[in-house]
Every structure is written in structure tokens, then in C-alpha cells.
Structure 1
């Protein structure tokens, strides 16, 4: 191992070596269990005799900083937590026993073997250019594969030259905000708070557009440069944007020279019929389509994509270039291989069946006593409750993590509820998590009031 040590000391080189090693252990630069270089090797590297290194090692072994194991050399000892070396456990928040928070898939279902095979095939056939700096738009192999997949599976008009590969959908939203140069962005109310912060962080001004049982309300759209919507499965209410609203949104964009940003975060997962096609197919010149592999494969891959109107390709590619230059290539090539071989389709179908079973189990346990919304698609449902804060407090006491509707409003909202994610738990833990959720709900009112979804905006 390479080891950076400054052994300069007025007390001599042995004392300097001891101090340098001691400080490295105390400061955490040498982790517990790390194996130190052999005495001969370290002596050559720092320019002292082997006897000086051995004496320094012996001194630190005596002090308890190092240990010597037969056949394993000299390693860093496990020290108790001190004020100058904080214990890792003190920085961690308590993990919930049961996690029903929305936003993530079942990462335990990641197709590791299939992905590894795709990586191997991709690396075996990759051109030398794949290991150089990449095109800001992304690898042409992935853009070509996405063009075919998005067209047939999501109804998106997606020529490869209008696709930009991003490091996740959030980066796509951030890049678009930058290109809008601090413009006004209308965002659904209720909607994902983090996405609002992404827009604000990029210099954009956020204004709300209310949501009702038909989705975002185009008649209430304020003057804006763009509107961000989740048509297939609105987050967090779970409603699907009505066809008349789709037409009204694209008409609004054409009339104002504005953009509709379609966040298709979980559009592949529909349980009562075929997945609803993307809004982008109705108006490719007015709609920016955001897609991601985070819900179908896993967030850790950091792979997303934008399908852009022609006039935005150049500006977004330039913004990507000056953000992180390009998304890493090997993951792009592996995903392209998955799509071309239809292994991606097979995985999505498998996940769709798994999540439908989870959705059905949720309805079987809760649907008879509580009003559950947004169950036709996606990886979460909205359970209406009368006193959100009280329910959340009981859930926390039971070690249950669950989302709340209250945090999704732009301002205080009158409707209260739990946003229950059924993608996150591992298969074996999910039934017990539902039992805990049911018990938490039963500890309060026997049944939440029937608030319904009014025909007007969901305002307080």
C-alpha cells in the first residue's frame, strides 16, 4: 500500500515516524484493520533504516495503536471512540425497522447477474473511444436503444439525436433550469419538495399549479416559462392526468411558447391496463421528456435521459458539457445491451408483477377501512387520515417510516394523508410492515373521514 507520511521532526526521524503514524491512526487516515507496509518497504519509501521502522512499529504496538499478527504483518488496532476521532455510530440516524417511505424501488431485486453479463458483453465489444471523454449527449449506442424502447413502450417520439443522457432525472431538471436562465417554473401542488428545491437552487422561480382528481389544472396555470408535471402517476396523489388536461397543457405551451416538462418517473408500472402512453407523443415540439432507470433498475446507476424539442438540444448539450462533461460510459453501454437484448423488458415485467402483488396486499389489508388513492399505477399509494401528525408520531414509535402528504404542499394544505411506498421493503419484510401500518392507523380513529378528491383545486 502507498502511505503518505511526513516524518520531519526536531526530535529525530524515529520520533517523526512514530508521530506521523500515531496521527494517521488518530485522525482516521489509517482505518482499523488496515495492514501497514513491511518494515523493509516502508524504510525504503521514507528514507530511514529498517531498524528505525521496526522500533517505531514496536513503540506503537506497545501504545495500542498497532497490533502484530503472525502471518498477517502489522495492522491498525481498533481504538475506542475519542473526542478527536468521533465514533461513526454517533453520526448515523436511527434506521427504521420498517420502511414504507416512497421514492425507491426494491433495490434487493436489482438483476445483478443480468447486469454483470451486460457489462461483460458491453466491455468486450466497446470501441476504444468508450474509455475517452464522452459526447455530452451520451453514448450513441444507448441513445439508439432508448429511441427504439421509448417509442414502442412509452409512445415517445425520440430520435437518437434528440436524446440527452443524464446522471439521473434530477440532473436533467437542474440542467433545464439553467437553460431557462432563472425563468418561472410552475410545479404541481402537491408535488415533490426536493424537485422544487432543485429548480430554486438553479435560479428558477417556482409557482404552484393545483392538482385535483383529473391531475394538474391547466386553467389555473400562472404565467410561466415551463410547467413540470407527472402525467402517468401524479406524485404524490397518484392520479392520472385526464386526456382533456393533456390537450390543454400542450395547447397552453404552444400558445405561450412555453415548455411542458414530463417527469415519467414510474410510467412503466401500471396495473389495471396497459401503461398510459407519454404526453410527449402528443407534442414533441413542446414537451421535454424526463425518464430514468432509478425505479426500474436502481437509483445507484445514476442513469436518466431527456428527450428534447429540437431547439433545446444544443443549449442542453452545452449545459451538460459545462456541468460534468458527460455521463460515465460503461453503464450506458450495459444499459444499451440490456435494452437491445430485451432483458430490460423482461425485468420490467417481472417487477410489474411483483409490485402489483404488493399493491394488492396493501389494498387487501387497508382498503376496506381506509380511503386509499393512487393505486392504479406506480410504487406508492395515498392513504387519507384525519390527524397526520398524530399518525406519524405513532408510526415513529413503532419504528415505521412512512411519507406524509403535508410536506408536499407548496404552502399549508387542508388534506392530510400518508404517502405509502410499497417498492422499498424487501419481499419478506413487506407483510409485517403492512401489519404495523394497520396497527398504527387503528390506534387512532377507526376510519379516516371521507375527504374525497374535490372537483376543485386541492387547496386549504
Structure 2
């Protein structure tokens, strides 16, 4: 049973809608769509995204400030460079959340970017500590809609405070909006980018909403960074496929993308509710957090039981991860013990069995 976070249900890719959108998009596409193209990405997609992100996430931008990339990792490489590339667009150390994706840290390590961990609490990253950081920390990478992996949104006061910090220190906020569409319990939390489009780089992709196999993402940039990012993008080999961009644009324009996201939101919400119900029944002593949004939840465990719970889960045939594997190596304050449970991945027919096995693996009260 696979309860690793970060993967949507592969069986739910909207094949029919994607095929129909591709047919319409390619029929209507001008001939120049099959020529060398624009390093920022197809104008059809950038227009569709400007419109969609304003509507769905409160992002304020125009198509000229959007650069299409092939996902969040590519965005990081454009901004910070790669091993041996002599650096990207941004220089200097980067503040990051004390818990985050090791894969992202390894990209930054490879680009020789020093990352400085920001502690977390129940209101998200403690952004008030940015001002006191030694060394020229001028940029911070955050997951404001749904902290990854601990799960809460960044408190409204802190959202305002981090934008203030960026204004006063000529700083930059990098906003990783990896699953902003999947909010279940209240009105969506809008993008921090809407508070100050010139101080926030907003990054999104279709990895969670459609599929990680569709290599499409986007950077919504302050005006002063657009040219540098386009230059960093370089030759055409690194650009996302134009037919895919046209297809996604058509999927968004036709309303099918919204329909798909709505359908998936209902499905994942149902799965989240099943997880919460199973725990309430079989392990009422375990608190489940981070469930207002996203595709994963965190199960809080008694101190000192995390490693053995991960082992017990493996013994019961359940693959999942403990919170410790997401901790920044230099983080001082640590989060309580916990398990990160991805409830989006298993196929529908295998989900109930995966939950049963998970409950059997949890430490007793």
C-alpha cells in the first residue's frame, strides 16, 4: 500500500477532456505555433494562466510577466542556477521553512545556495525572524497556502509581515503554491503574490492538479526579473512542448480544467474524510492535522515513536514517511513526532485496505 505523499491519483487523469482539448487547440493553432516560439512560453497559455490564477488564486499579473517552465524543480533551477552553471538569477543565501522537500534542498545545494531554516509553529513559518538573520538573506521560500509537510496555512498577519520585510529589505518572497487548488474546509487562501506582485515570485504547476507526467509549470514574476529568467532559460531544448502548452490553455479556457479540479477536490476530500473516520474508530488517541487542504495529512505521534511507526507500517505493507525525513539538517527546533500520509495516491479499490493496514501499524494509546 502506497501512502507516500506528493502524488495525485494517476488513474484520474482526464484523458477524454485532454484529448478533446488537444484536438481543438491544434486545429485552431496558428502555423507559428509549430515554429521556434517564445522563451516565455505560448501566449495562449500565458493568457489563460493570467486569467485563471487571478480567478482561482488571487494572483495579479499579466501574460508578459509569466514564464512557462516544466515544473517547480525547473523553476528553482532557473532562479538559482544548476551545478556548474555559474549561478542563476538570484544570489546569496535563501531562507527556507525548517521542514520541506529534501529534493528541493538538493537542487539548491547543487547550485551552491546556502539555505537557512526558519522555525515553524501552528501559524506557519516564523517570518518575523527574517529581519534578525545574519548574512545577507534577501529571499525566502515559503509554502503559504498549506505548509509542506506540516500542513497549516501561513497566518494572515505573517503573510502581511513577510511582504513588509521584502519591501523594507529589497527582499523577495518565493511562493510555492504546490496544491493551492485543493482546499476543503473554508474559502480558499489566496496567493501571497496578490499582496505585492513586485516582491513575490509565484510558482505553480499541474503536477498535483493534473499529473506529474505533464511537465508544465509557471513562474509569475516581478517585472524586473522577467528578462533575467528568460535569459536563464536558454536554448529551446529546455522549453516545455508547445502542443502541450496549447492543450493546457484550451483545457483552462474551455472550463474543463476547473471541472477536473472540482471533481478531484471532491474525491480527495472524500478520501481525507475516510482517513479521519478510520482514525477516529481505530486510533482515537492519534491527532490528525493539516487536513484543511492538500493531498496529505500529518498524524501526530507520542514522542519517540516516529521511527518505529514507520517501520511497523512497512511491516504491515504500508509505505509512508515520518516528519523527520523532511527536517532541514540545520534546523534547531524540531516538530513533534509524526507520520506524513498521502491519501491521494492509492487507486480507489485499494484505499480502504491501505487505511486498515495503516491503523494496525500505529502505536497503541
- With the shorter chain as reference, the TM-score category is over 0.9
Q: Which residue of 2 aligns with 1:334?
A: 247
> Cα 1:139–1:227, aligned 2, differ >3 Å: closer, same or farther?
same
Q: Which residue of 1 aligns with 2:319?
A: 401
In structure 2, which of residues 204, 208, 219 is the aligned counterpart of residue 306 of structure 1?
A: 219
Further displaced range: 144-153 or 196-205: 196-205
The within-5 A match list for 1:205-244 is 205-221=114-130, 222=133, 223-244=136-157
Q: Which residue of 1 aligns with 2:343?
A: 422
Q: CA RMSD in A?
A: 1.3
**Which of structures 1 and 2 has the larger relative contact order (alpha carbons within 8 angstroms, sep 6+)?**
2
Q: Could you give the per-residue CA deviations for residues 222-260 of structure 1, whole angstroms, max 9, x where no partner exists? A: 241210000110001101100100011001111111110
> Cα 1:101–1:323, aligned 2, differ >3 Å: closer, same or farther?
farther
Q: Which residue of 1 aligns with 2:84?
A: none
Deviation at residue 113 of structure 1 after TM alignment = 0.7
Instruction: Provide the secondary structure at the position in 1 that maps to 2:213.
Output: helix
Contact 2:127–2:158 under 8 Å retained in 1: yes
CA distance in 2, matches of 1:188, 1:308: 21
**Corresponding position: 1:380 with 2:296:** yes
In structure 2, which of residues 341, 352, 364 is the aligned counterpart of residue 431 of structure 1?
A: 352
Deviation at residue 198 of structure 1 after TM alignment = 1.2
Deviation at residue 202 of structure 1 after TM alignment = 1.9
Q: Could you give the per-residue CA deviations for residues 64-88 of structure 1, whole angstroms, max 9, x where no partner exists? A: xxxxxxxxxxxxxxxxxxxxxxxxx
Number of aligned positions between the proteins:
347
CA distance in 1, matches of 2:320, 2:150: 15
CA distance in 1, matches of 2:231, 2:128: 34
Unmatched 5+ stretches in structure 1: 1-97, 447-460
Deviation at residue 395 of structure 1 after TM alignment = 1.2
Provide the TM-score with structure 2 as the length reference: 0.92
Contact 1:136–1:325 under 8 Å retained in 2: no
CA distance in 2, matches of 1:138, 1:274: 31
In structure 1, which of residues 118, 133, 150 is the aligned counterpart of residue 36 of structure 2?
A: 133
Instruction: Provide the secondary structure at the position in 1 that maps to 2:2.
Output: strand
> Cα 1:183–1:324, aligned 2, differ >3 Å: closer, same or farther?
farther
**Corresponding position: 1:261 with 2:174:** yes
Q: Which residue of 1 aligns with 2:287?
A: 371
CA distance in 1, matches of 2:161, 2:237: 36
Provide the TM-score with structure 1 as the length reference: 0.74
